[in-house]
Chains A and B, each alone.
Chain A
Amino acid sequence: MTARPPIAGMLIALTMVLVILGPILTVMIWAFAEQWRYPNLLPTDWGLKFWYQMLGRETVITPILTSLAITSISTTLVAVICWPAAYAFARLSFPGRQLLLFSFLAINAVPKFTLFVAIATVFLQIGLIGTFWGVVIVQMLSAMLFMIWIPTAAFRGIPPALEEAAFDLGASRLRVFLQVTMPQALPALAASYVLGFVTILLRWNRPCWLARPRSRRCRFCCCSFPRSLSSSRRPSCA
């Protein structure tokens, strides 16, 4: 819109590349380096030695698979309970609707660590701590805000006339929902699923002690890295 000289854009883009991709690129290079002696700009020896080493260890592969499985289950469960709820928030009127919708913000308003301590206490009492379902339930929490708010906005964004037109032409409520509402909301629903999946998989840093000991996830082998990081090769779970 403005006649901003492309120089500014180029500078911004370049800075972003350096700042955002720089660190990640370093890790990528390290992953293929067998030896990198100071002060060489690039590794002195390239190779896949550490990849073989890592992929050869069961303690690495299993957590990655477990990680993906748990994340898929959690995200799908959240979708199953949250999407119909989002539809209700958008289209139906019932007592306390606004209040209930805002109650989901509580998940974000409590610091994760406070929440973990609180949940861990409860889980300890009911014997869920460290179990598969314990982890799934805790993870579901993290994706719920996305899975409620984005679909609610999406369902609200569908003009009621689209549904009414179908209803008026003789379609049942279920048919209207499946053939008109869902296709209209699909892009947003898919986006919320992906965001929820990513949130659960990558962003929700639950402490090791909450998930110990049976379902160690990929993250937890990272947790135990020595702080000096002297010899570590990062398992590529990104």
Chain B
Amino acid sequence: MLRLTDVGKSFGGAQAVAAASFSVVEGELVCLLGPSGCGKSTLLRMIAGLTEPDTGVIEIAGQDVTTLPANRRPTAMVFQSHALWNHMTVERNVSFGLRVRGLPRTEIADRVAAALDLVGLSRFGSRRPAELSGGQAQRVALARCLVVQPKVLLMDEPFSALDAHLRANLREELKALQRRLTLTVIFVTHDQEEAMELADRIVVMDSGRIEQIGRPNELYLEPQSLTVARFIGQTNICETTIAGGRADWFGARLLTQCADGPATILSRPEDLVPASNGAPARVDRVTDLGPMLRLHLTTDDGGQLVWLCPRSSAPQTGSRVSLVPGRLQVYRNGERIGTAEAARPSTAHARTLA
């Protein structure tokens, strides 16, 4: 449905987006995720036609739209600021795109009513945008885009100005709507939780570059770079050296297939398990998250660890534990080079004897 090939843009020498390439199939919801200033909004605006790319080709439904201005592209965009026109009623706002297209009056009325019904605001047609709450305004902005039946719906951090509770509700509504109408959506956000929850696939961006494209669980379980790993979920980071297929992890032994040399080894807080041959550590602080407890630990060699552990087996603050990591990812120069696993007790024992 949408294909980007080497799309790049720089502003006065500063590279905003560098040779971005990916494609989106019909009915897919893709999130562009990254910290602010990473180029995700610029990329979205280039898809919309509001910013012209310096290089590359943008195709929508098989048609090259790279040189088409925004008003002639089959896209519609929901802005962060909702961008409703306060001098028009909700109805006039929603019907704008249809009036521009010169549709007959009765058809416009029908489609506007249907669109407002979709977002649950049928009775708000004669209101002014100023009389709407933040959530309602953003729904109207969505209806304003849906009504023109865009081939690709673009959303630029649409919920980031709303409070957390409302944001979660709108997210669910959007996901349901997208499934029901099989909408193709590009959704820009800096909130990884939002991206994980909404997206079929996530495009992680940093400093104008695409770091990784993948399904949410792929990104979480096997982040291809340190940047992605740090951005998605919490991680325990261990700077260490691999020598002869072995490495030290806060005092515990790891085995790995990776080549010798310096390495950064990451593990997720929920993957730590107690084991006799683990890294010795002390519990500094316990945070109760409800279903789980989060423990902040200091290892004996001074490292910091975070451990998400089930309520039933949680140790007290101040007590000593010994932990080994489960799934491990090994990085060198920021790129993923492989995995590692904790050495079994016997191996460690044997080495100690030797």
Contact = CB atoms under 8 A, between A and B. Distances in A.
Interface of A: 159, 161-162, 164-172, 175, 179-180, 183-184
Given A167-B70, A168-B71, A168-B76, A159 B83 contact: yes
B48 interface: yes
Contacts of B34: none
6 contacts: A161-B80, A162-B85, A164-B48, A165-B141, A170-B97, A170-B148
A168 B101 contact: no
A158 to B, nearest CB: 10
Interface of B: 48-50, 69-73, 75-77, 79-81, 83, 85-87, 96-97, 100-101, 141, 144-145, 148
Contacts of A175: 100
Contacts of B97: 169-170
A144 B15 CA distance: 40
B79 A183 contact: no
B79 A165 contact: yes
A161 B81 contact: yes
A32 to B, nearest CB: 45
B130 to A, nearest CB: 13
A184 B85 CA distance: 8
Contacts of B141: 165
A169 to B, nearest CB: 4
A7 to B, nearest CB: 38
Given A159-B81, A159-B83, A168 B50 contact: yes
Given A159-B81, A168-B50, 20 more contacts: A161-B83, A164-B48, A164-B50, A164-B70, A165-B77, A165-B79, A165-B141, A165-B144, A167-B69, A168-B48, A168-B71, A168-B75, A168-B76, A168-B77, A169-B76, A170-B71, A170-B97, A170-B148, A171-B71, A180-B85
Contacts of A164: 48, 50, 70, 77, 79, 83
